[in-house]
Amino acid sequence: MCRRSRKTEPGTIRGARRGKAVHSHIDDMGDSYYMKKIGFLSFGHWTHSPQSRTQSATDALLQSIDLAVEAERLGMDGAYFRVHHFAQQLASPFPLLAAVGAKTRKIEIGTAVIDMRYENPHYMAEDAGAADLISGGRLQLGISRGSPEQVIDGWRYFGYRPIEGEDDADMGRRHAEEFLELLRGKGFAQPNPRPMFTNPPGLLRLEPYSAGLRDRIWWGSASNATAAWAAKLGLNLQTSTLKFDETGEPLNIQQAAQIRAFRAAWKEAGHTRTPRISVSRSIFPLLDDRDRGYFGRGAQEEDKIGFLDENTRAIFGRSYAAEPDILVEQLRNDEAIAEADTLLLTIPNQLGVAYNAHVMEAILTSVAPALGWH
């Protein structure tokens, strides 16, 4: 959990387990972040390859539930899932989120992210409210305008079109704003004077309504501009292992600046609560021969540059794979992780539940304490 340092000097805390000074971050609103919520992020791939332990959609869904249960047992803080359409990956998230909510008791349950170009805001508000109530108010929904797709303009097959003057990104943000307004729970629909069931007085809202869910919506941002836009709307911020390359600097430097821009816009908007901010990273402690066999050779140790389309240059973050003491020093220098209160670990779900539980446990026991995260 993210806590505030009140008795130590700015910039340091006492490591509870090691007794050494540990770096803390004090943001523009005076909050010091050192303890972090740590969750996993699964894309839910499946393939018929003999090397995959996830052979089918059934495997991907059931293993996702099992992994969330294991993560909660280990002391992880979150179970997050990516949503992709027209792919052998997790797609419609709400049945899975509801199932995870019914099988767990404490762990946060979320997405990173749902592509809003494909979403009906009204139906989504009902699904999200139901899943949140089933979980006891643990939903943390990451939404965004989406990423490069498997098909051309896939949202058209779902029945959506940008209105005049919009592009698809504008449409995604419009859907998001409609969804956020619906989550406020205000009545807007004129009741039938002869309904099948008795109506409460006044205009009707969508049901089921879950109080507090509006404050647990996140925006997945790939640019400084959309981070500031999200802050103005009162959304939490998700940053991933990819960002538009706006300065040519390493990913962690650009993301740290993006997070600071988000906080400045949040403060300017006058919101009274403290926002949540997450970063995603691929981190693998090398403890045994399995780890070294999977990740010990050919790890991506540098950021990479690519193009999402003809005009959009992006930077893709490096992976971290090393012995725990080396990992600790590498991660200590990741400025974006230092700025965030939540870290999402991208996991190779096709290696199976048991192996991914091993990776999470290794991070919780051999990396996080040394950094003062957990």
More confident residue, 305 or 31: 305
Does 335 fall in a domain?
A: yes
Give the model's confidence band at 336: pLDDT under 50 very low, under 70 low, under 90 confident, else very high.
Answer: very high
Does 339 fall in a domain?
A: yes
Using one digit for the tens of pLDDT, what is the confidence trace for 62-114? 999 999 999 999 999 999 999 999 999 999 999 999 999 999 999 999 999 99
Using one digit for the tens of pLDDT, what is the confidence trace for 104-160? 999 999 999 999 999 999 999 999 999 999 999 999 999 999 877 899 999 999 999
Greatest Cα-to-Cα distance within the chain, rounded to the nearest angstrom:
70
Per-chain mean pLDDT for the chain: 91
Lowest mean pLDDT among 212-216, 243-247, 299-303, 311-315: 299-303
Query: What is the SS3 assignment for 262?
Result: helix
Query: Which segments of the chain does DSSP mark as H helices, in order?
Result: 57-74, 94-103, 121-135, 168-182, 224-232, 251-269, 289-295, 324-332, 335-339, 353-366
Query: Which segments of 156-303 does DSSP mark as H helices, in order?
Result: 168-182, 224-232, 251-269, 289-295
Does 27 fall in a domain?
A: no
Does 17 fall in a domain?
A: no
pTM, 2 dp:
0.90
Work out whether the CA dihedral 17, 21, 23, 29 comes out positive or negative.
positive
Does 13 fall in a domain?
A: no
Does 30 fall in a domain?
A: no
Of all residues in the chain, what percent are helix, strand and coil, respectively (each to 5)? Answer: 35, 20, 45
Quote the crossing angle between the two packed helices 251-269 and 224-232, to the nearest 10°.
30
Does 103 fall in a domain?
A: yes
**Token digits for 59?**
């495997």
Does 5 fall in a domain?
A: no
Using one digit for the tens of pLDDT, what is the confidence trace for 152-207? 999 999 999 999 999 999 999 999 999 999 999 999 999 999 999 999 999 999 99
Q: Which domain holds residue 175?
A: 36-188+202-369
Compute φ and ψ for 47, nearest 5 degrees.
Answer: -155, 155
Q: For position 213, which CATH number holds? A: 3.20.20.30
Give the model's confidence band at 216: pLDDT under 50 very low, under 70 low, under 90 confident, else very high.
Answer: very high
Number of domains in the chain: 1
More confident residue, 303 or 286: 286
